[in-house]
Structure 1
Amino acid sequence: MKKYDVFVIGSGMAGMTVANKCAAGGLKVGITDELAYGGTCALRGCDPKKVIIGATEVRDFAHRLKGIGIDTVPQVNWKDIMAFKQSFVNDMPPKIEKGYKQNGIDTYHTAVKFISENTLQLGKDHITANNFVIATGAKPRELTFEGGHFALSSTEFLNMKDLPGSMLFIGGGYIAFEFAHIAARCGSKVTIVHRGKHPLKNFEQDIVKHLIDATRDLGIELILETEVLKIEKKNDDYLVSGKSGETMSEFKVEAVFNSAGRPPAIFDLDLVKANIAYSEKGIEVNSFLQNTTNKKIYAAGDSADTNGLPLTPIAVMEGHIVASNIIKGNKKEVNYPPTPSVVFTLPVLTGVGLTEEQARNKEVQYKVNYQSAENWFNAKRLNVKQYAFKTIIDKNTNSLLGAHIIGPNAEEIINIFAIAIKTGIKVAELKKMIYTYPTMASDIPHMV
């Protein structure tokens, strides 16, 4: 039996933050992860994906300027970019573990299960702790239809040695769109099949429409209102069967990817034995990120059922709050600032604050500026077809409620809008500010 002040389950950004901060606070800390240390973002998500996107950005820019200054559009060398990506991934787990050991944290690489309210089964060992932190993140949703096991995960996409000539993504979320754009620009024939009427449902739909157009212009076949029913192996290919109303359809591809959502990775922990309240959305927590039924348990990141978006910066923020509450007692409540969210396609789609539908449901008095900016200077100099924005402004306070953009550098520009919403700066002041010119940010006064 081993005893800790704090034992952390999961070594992604939330768990890492908790462990290191608690150890720095003088507590005896242990951490385990059945996968390599680093979590989804660093090893099989945000970071490696962004490295690969870098190569497709070059190709996209050259394609847009072909004939107006560029003669040849470069091809992406898949093996080279994957090797470059791996140079980032390989460094992370040993670097993280070394940091844990320097901080006096005991490290384990084993799956765990609760056997009581304050005891874990870890291999042959039993672990007890004054507090446990569940920071296990999320994992791909299990596909329960026939042949669902043939679908590969996003992790497997990011580790492909060779790019299939054709592929199909099940689901219409950000993972499907981001990876579809990568694959299409690298030469694969891509299909997205989404069972709903509207993909990317959590984003401003007027802006999503522009991404749909850009996606189809790229040659990606986007099939909506179609539910996948079966995957069959046919020699070296896969036959995917879908249904839309009473109409059946089939798609023959070399690879199928499961991008149908990511539920919290908590259901193998035997939570019931520890009297831990949870739902399909995650561990149920109060405003201190403490479990509602077992006060020894805290949760952070994608494994917790909170109002925060499932994003790495939110996981880090929640990790700091959990660590503070464990060290000092429950004094710090979670309060989420306006949080920008991005779909790293090309063009980039992003948003922060309220969508128009959310503003309408809140019954606030608002006005909307929604416009395509494809004829503005910045769009013309970059030769982009999809550049649009939608800003939502509170009529009573003349401050920003929401901002949504598709276009070049939108992932950077949205941060300025996030600051504007957080600080409550008046739209008139945003208009008066001096911006570097000519830059994408210099378009901000014209968007509000």
Structure 2
Amino acid sequence: MSEFDYDLFVIGAGSGGVRASRIAASHGARVAVAEEYRVGGTCVIRGCVPKKLLVYGAHFAEDIHDARKFGWDVPECRFDWNVLRDNVLAEVDRLEGLYGQTLDNHKVTVFRTRATIVGPQKVRLADGTELTAGRILIATGGWPHVPDFPGSEHAITSNEVFHLETLPKRIMIAGGGYIANEFAGIFNEFGSQVTIVNRGDTILRGYDEQIRDRLLQISMTKGIHFKFNVPFRSIEKNDDGTLTVHLENCDPFIVDAVLMATGRVPNTKGIGLEEVGVELDEQGAIKVDETNQSSVPSIYAVGDVTNRIQLTPVAIREGQAFADSVFGGKPTVVDYQNVPSAVFSHPPIGAVGMTEAEARNKLGSVRIYTSDFRAMKNVLAGRNERALYKMVVNAATDQVVGLHMIGPDAPEILQAAAIAVKAGLTKADFDATVALHPSMAEELVLLK
């Protein structure tokens, strides 16, 4: 019998923690996981899954309008936030149950409580119970960052936005990243007056400049307002429940809600990491090597808590690699090159590989191919909104090193195209592929 209560104790039952738990258990390990909130983590409970359902709901605003151009006699329609909100939350409940069922099926012990580390191989539950484990895995994810200024407590984050009692008629969104732009598109389609406030001068830092400029142009055309280089001074709550927002060098704004989408930070505070010698970086992320091992040999970490790439599929891969390596006898290292990503804005963005600027800095000589077009559906619907596809090619080798797209269904198209970039295919390989007509995706093999 082992000298420990468990072979593996996981703190955090999000995407990475659940995958690591069930795979380790399938390899024969005795596994326990502690989750202080809800099984499923950020993505399932308060992130990409409920967000994407809101995105689907928001698309109907334009689809219903466009349907009239396609011959449908559509009466005037009214959107009911409460119906969508409650249906989304019910789906979250269903998914949480499935995640819990998966752990049960793999005989993983689940403690629905907070756990902290009190030794290299010891954890303490909220009720004081102490348990030992041969290895401890930290998978506590990230947490919304809220800037510190007077009245910031009156703002909400992406954690609370799915539970709003009423749809705000006027909403201010702080930030310029994917969360800010996604919710800006969602609330704008629902009929809210949306203002994005960014203390910097660009949106979607890290994405290709042409693509993010196109999203900015389309968003403004749709009626979303932007304020750049504007820090917050304060927020005051009024007697009627509205908020007065004071910004630097701006007149005050009166809104119904302020959503802070100013980034996410690793969720490492107060769980005992530093006390047992686990090294953190300046952002509070756990420092790990390529095997996900921290500075304490018995403690590992996967997912957003390491701040490598904050994407759910990456956390899942890391959890799988950890379990296979440590308990399955199959040493596995995650490859972080050419990880595709998407922004579910209106319209959405898909991207993989190097941006044009990154390629020029790294490779020197590059070739750029673009297609700037109106989707067939938009033409008949009378929409001037244009899609933009961009291919970045290494001029020396003809290898496609980046694909960047904005337009209807861009993420769905990009997923398959990302395989080609990952495989190192060339522009000639794209050119040799017969177009699938009529489709938007065919533009990828017709770029000149």
**After TM superposition, is the score higher than 0.5?**
yes
Which segment drifts farther, 390-399 or 81-90?
81-90
* Equivalence for 1:198: 202
Worse overlay, 377-386 or 224-233: 377-386
Distance 1:186 1:110 in 2: 37
TM-score (norm 2): 0.93
> What's the TM-score, normalizing by structure 1?
0.93
Select which of 152, 158, 169 maps to 2:156.
152
Q: Given the alignment of the two structures, is residue 100 of structure 1 paired with residue 103 of structure 2, yes or no? A: yes
Q: CA deviation at 1:371?
A: 4.4
**1:169 counterpart residue number:** 173
Give the Cα separation in 1 of the matches to 2:42 and 2:26: 24
Asked if 1 retains the 8 angstrom alpha-carbon contact of 2:321 and 2:331, the reply is: no
In the alignment, which of 68, 75, 80 is matched to residue 77 of structure 1? 80
Summarize deviations over 1:66-120 as a string: whole Å, max 9, x none.
5564554644321222222122111122332233223221111112222222222
State the partner residue of 1:270: 272
SS in 1 for 2:266: coil
3-state SS of 1:216 partner: helix
1:389 alignment partner, SS class = strand
Q: Which residue of 1 aligns with 2:299?
A: 297
Distance 1:330 1:142, change over 3 A: farther
Aligned 1:364-383 pairs, distance under 5 A: 364-374=364-374, 377=376, 380-381=379-380, 383=383
Residue 396 of structure 1, CA deviation: 1.5
Mapped to 2, the partners of 1:65 and 1:93 lie a distance apart of: 35
Measure the CA separation in 2 of the matches of 1:50 and 1:403: 22
User: Any residues of structure 2 matched to 1:351-390 within 5 Å, and which?
Assistant: 351-374=351-374, 377=376, 380-381=379-380, 383-390=383-390
Report the Cα distance in structure 1 between the residues aligned to 2:407 and 2:174, rounded to whole angstroms.
25
Number of residue pairs the alignment of both structures matches: 441
- Kept in 2, the 8 Å contact 1:10–1:32? The answer is yes
Query: Structure 2 CA distance, aligned partners of 1:41 and 1:74?
Result: 31
Contact 1:373 1:379 in 2 (8 A): no
Moved beyond 6 Å, runs of 4+ = none
2:62 corresponds to which residue?
60
Task: Give the superposed CA RMSD.
Answer: 2.0
- 239, 245, 250: which one aligns with 2:244: 239
Report the CA distance shift for 1:184/1:305 in structure 2 as closer, same or farther (over 3 A). closer
Map of 1:414 onto structure 2? 414
* Residue pair 2:340, 2:351 contacting (<8 A) in 1 also: yes
* Code of the aligned partner of 1:250: P
Q: Could you list the per-position Cα deviations for residues 412-443 of structure 1 after superposition, in whole angstroms to 9, with x for gaps in the alignment? A: 11123211111112211212212432112122
Task: Return the alpha-carbon distance in structure 2 between the equivalents of residues 248 and 187 of structure 1.
Answer: 24
Gaps of 5+ in 1: none
SS at match of 1:420: helix
Name the residue aligned to 1:222: 226
Contact 2:59 2:189 in 1 (8 A): no
Q: Tell whether the 8 Å contact from 2:35 to 2:113 is kept in structure 1 after alignment.
A: yes
Query: Would the aligned equivalents of 1:288 and 1:330 in 2 still touch at CA under 8 Å?
Result: no
Give distance in 1, aligned partners of 2:72 and 2:82.
25
**Equivalent residue number for residue 394 of structure 2:** 394
How many percent identity over aligned positions?
Answer: 29
1:2–1:78 distance in 2 versus 1, CA, 3 Å = farther
Q: 1:212 to 1:65 in 2, by over 3 A?
A: farther
Partner of 1:6: 8
